[in-house]
């Protein structure tokens, strides 16, 4: 194709292959949900708004896959800038892009190559955006590299679900890779298992026993951990926090680790290993990213068009010995701190005290919580135990709720009789 036609709109036959599955149902299509032809095409191409979180290894595969599948209103958010070490697998970036924001460079590249697609970048943290921002999307796909960010977006999306507004439920498709292993999963917040429900099964970072680090180092990694875990806080105390992204800090650690390695005749401490150990970097494999991103975008396409039932609900990929994949359904955890537990809305007198609320919770027929402890995200309203916390929060018992908790704020109630917690939202009359 010549450059001239690339710059214009759709080329002939552009959607030929996608239309095969949009125009008529397949063997596994749900006939009640699928409306083929123009309806499916129109929703996918003109209405559906999708957000990609992360423009790194996975993001650079997700974006072109989405654009070429016919999604035309794509947004991307990423807080990083391009490093030269990204270029071996983040194929939307070139050497000239080093130092530029990933989201912006990725968006430009996809728009240049796939005419008619709008990719809107945001260079920043997902935490910078509020519910209003996330509300505008139909589907959210994440290609994140941290557990913390996953937990944050998961809790945000679960929190956005409003029973009176079905569209407030945003499907989250989460992809992840670690070397030759990966997963993609579909989360329907409040309906299927969320990130927090399955937190126990996440791979944990490699850590070495502190005594080994302190006394009997045998590997270069032990020397590096010694420098970052023991030496840094010993030398700098609280005055200077270790910043894993600061090259000068890494250099300092590298120098300390090298000295220690020499002392114990250990070889192999290098600057890049030092960076790898402190940032817990696992070498990324381009083909793992490609497989996981393909699966994730396939799920997005299925959700947007109902052309086929979505993944139920977790696909794991193990590429370490051959290529193995297995799909299974994660179940929701009743005691999940994010999507588990009931939310109770209650209207109370504006003069009600904390003490009266506690009595009310203990006595009300369908609640009946023994010894509840109450808090908001910023205030411990009343804690039943241990004695020191009980004493510290006891003065609140006499206070009016309306003075401690603004109307509509969520109160977290825990008690030994509850699986985990109950959420309480008060309005005052």
Partner 1 sequence: MIKIWNMKKAEGSGPKKPKTSAAQIRVQKDVTELELPRTMKMDWPDANDLLNFFLTISPDEGMYKGGSFKFSFAINSNYPHEPPKVKCVPKIYHPNVDLEGNVCLNILREDWKPVLNLNSVMVGLQYLFLEPNADDPLNKEAAQDLRSNRQNFIRNVNRSMAGGSVNGETFDRVLKDAE
CA distances from 108 to 93, 111, 429 (A): 10, 5, 53
Q: Is residue 211 flagged as an active site residue?
A: yes
Q: For partner 1, which residue of 5, 88, 244, 343 counts as binding (CB under 8 A)? A: 343
Q: Which is nearer to partner 1, 35 or 316 (CB)?
A: 35
Question: By CB under 8 A, which span of 17-25, 268-276, 278-286, 412-420 interacts with partner 1?
Answer: 412-420
CA distances from 57 to 115, 204, 213, 293, 424 (A): 23, 20, 32, 9, 41
Q: For partner 1, which residue of 5, 20, 136, 215 counts as binding (CB under 8 A)? A: 215
Task: Name residues contacting partner 1, limited to 222-281 (CB under 8 A).
Answer: 229-230, 233-234
* 54, burial (CB in 10 Å: exposed 0-12, middle 13-18, buried 19+): buried
CA distances from 195 to 62, 132, 353 (A): 20, 22, 36
SS3 per residue for 287-310: HHHHHHHHHHHHHHHHHHHCCCCC
Q: Give yes or no for residue 427 binding partner 1 (CB under 8 A).
A: no
Q: Give yes or no for residue 221 binding partner 1 (CB under 8 A).
A: no
Task: Name residues contacting partner 1, limited to 300-339 (CB under 8 A).
Answer: 303-304, 306, 337-339
Conformational region of residue 161, where left means phi above 0, alpha means psi within -120 to 50, and beta covers everything else: beta
Q: Give yes or no for residue 425 binding partner 1 (CB under 8 A).
A: yes
Residue 164 CB, nearest distance to partner 1 (Å)?
A: 8
| Tokens at 224, concatenated | 């590096």
For the beta carbon of residue 50, count every other beta carbon within 10 angstroms.
24
Task: Name residues contacting partner 1, limited to 175-194 (CB under 8 A).
Answer: 188, 190-191
Q: Give yes or no for residue 294 binding partner 1 (CB under 8 A).
A: no
DSSP state letter for 10? P
Q: Give yes or no for residue 348 binding partner 1 (CB under 8 A).
A: no
Question: By CB under 8 A, which span of 18-26, 269-277, 348-356, 377-385 interacts with partner 1?
Answer: 377-385
Residue 128 CB, nearest distance to partner 1 (Å)?
A: 16
Q: For partner 1, which residue of 120, 325, 355, 376 counts as binding (CB under 8 A)? A: 376
Report the C-alpha dihedral over residues 324, 191, 310, 55, rounded to 10 degrees.
-70
Beta partners for residue 412, in sequence order: 375, 423
In 279-368, which residue ranges form alpha helices assigned H by DSSP? 286-305, 354-363
Spatial distance between the Cα atoms of 104 and 119, rounded to a whole number of angstroms:
9
Q: For partner 1, which residue of 129, 271, 420, 428 counts as binding (CB under 8 A)? A: 420
Q: Give yes or no for residue 86 binding partner 1 (CB under 8 A).
A: no
Question: By CB under 8 A, which span of 2-10, 173-181, 348-356, 381-389 interacts with partner 1?
Answer: 381-389
Q: For partner 1, which residue of 95, 130, 132, 163 counts as binding (CB under 8 A)? A: 163
Active-site residue, from 211, 223, 336, 339: 211
Q: Which is nearer to partner 1, 167 or 245 (CB)?
A: 167
Question: By CB under 8 A, which span of 51-59, 90-98, 210-218, 263-271 interacts with partner 1?
Answer: 210-218
Q: Give yes or no for residue 219 binding partner 1 (CB under 8 A).
A: no
Question: Measuring CA to CA, which residue among 193, 196, 154 is closest to residue 330?
Answer: 193
Residue 324 CB, nearest distance to partner 1 (Å)?
A: 25
Three-class DSSP category at 81: strand
Q: Give yes or no for residue 214 binding partner 1 (CB under 8 A).
A: yes
Q: For partner 1, which residue of 171, 176, 182, 220 counts as binding (CB under 8 A)? A: 171
| Tokens at 256, concatenated | 């300390």
Q: Give yes or no for residue 148 binding partner 1 (CB under 8 A).
A: yes
Q: What number of residues does the chain have?
A: 429
Spatial distance between the Cα atoms of 167 and 44, rounded to a whole number of angstroms:
16
Q: Which is nearer to partner 1, 10 or 165 (CB)?
A: 165
Task: Name residues contacting partner 1, limited to 13-72 (CB under 8 A).
Answer: 30, 33, 35, 39, 43
| Tokens at 97, concatenated | 């892009």
Spatial distance between the Cα atoms of 407 and 81, rounded to a whole number of angstroms:
41
Active site residues per annotation: 211
């Amino acid at each position: 194709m010549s450059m001239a036609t690339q710059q214009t709109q759709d080329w002939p036959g552009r959607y030929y292959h996608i239309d095969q599955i949009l125009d008529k149902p397949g063997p596994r299509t749900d006939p009640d949900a699928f409306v083929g032809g123009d309806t499916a095409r129109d929703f996918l191409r003109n209405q559906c708004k999708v957000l990609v979180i992360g423009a790194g290894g996975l993001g650079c595969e997700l974006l072109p896959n989405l654009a070429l599948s016919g999604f035309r209103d794509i947004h991307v958010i990423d807080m990083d800038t391009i490093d030269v070490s990204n270029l071996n697998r983040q194929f939307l970036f070139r050497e000239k892009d080093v130092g530029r924001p990933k989201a912006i460079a990725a968006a430009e590249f996809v728009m240049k190559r796939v005419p008619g697609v709008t990719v809107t970048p945001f260079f920043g943290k997902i935490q910078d955006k509020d519910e209003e921002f996330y509300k505008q999307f139909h589907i959210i796909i994440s290609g994140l590299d941290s557990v913390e960010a996953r937990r944050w977006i998961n809790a945000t999306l679960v929190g956005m679900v409003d029973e009176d507004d079905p569209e407030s439920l945003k499907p989250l498709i989460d992809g992840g890779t670690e070397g030759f292993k990966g997963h993609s999963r579909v989360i329907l917040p409040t309906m299927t298992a969320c990130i927090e429900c399955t937190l126990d099964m996440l791979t944990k970072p490699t850590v070495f026993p502190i005594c080994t680090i302190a006394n009997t180092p045998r590997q270069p990694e032990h020397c590096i951990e010694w420098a970052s875990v023991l030496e840094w806080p010993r030398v700098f105390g609280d005055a200077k926090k270790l910043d894993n992204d600061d090259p000068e800090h890494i250099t300092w650690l590298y120098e300390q680790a090298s000295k220690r390695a020499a002392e114990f005749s250990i070889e192999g401490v290098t600057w890049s290993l030092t960076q790898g150990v402190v940032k817990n970097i696992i070498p990324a494999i381009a083909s793992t990213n490609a497989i996981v991103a393909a699966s994730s975008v396939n799920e997005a396409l299925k959700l947007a068009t109902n052309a086929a039932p979505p993944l139920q609900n977790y696909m794991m990929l193990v590429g370490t010995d051959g290529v193995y994949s297995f799909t299974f359904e994660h179940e929701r955890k009743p005691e999940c701190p994010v999507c588990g537990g009931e939310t109770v809305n209650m209207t109370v007198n504006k003069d009600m005290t904390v003490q009266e609320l506690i009595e009310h919770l203990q006595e009300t027929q369908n609640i009946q919580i023994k010894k509840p402890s109450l808090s908001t995200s910023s205030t411990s309203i009343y804690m039943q135990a241990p004695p020191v916390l009980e004493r510290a929060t006891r003065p609140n018992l006499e206070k009016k709720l309306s003075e401690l908790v603004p109307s509509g704020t969520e109160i977290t109630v825990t008690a030994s009789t509850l699986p985990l917690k109950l959420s309480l939202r008060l309005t005052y009359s």
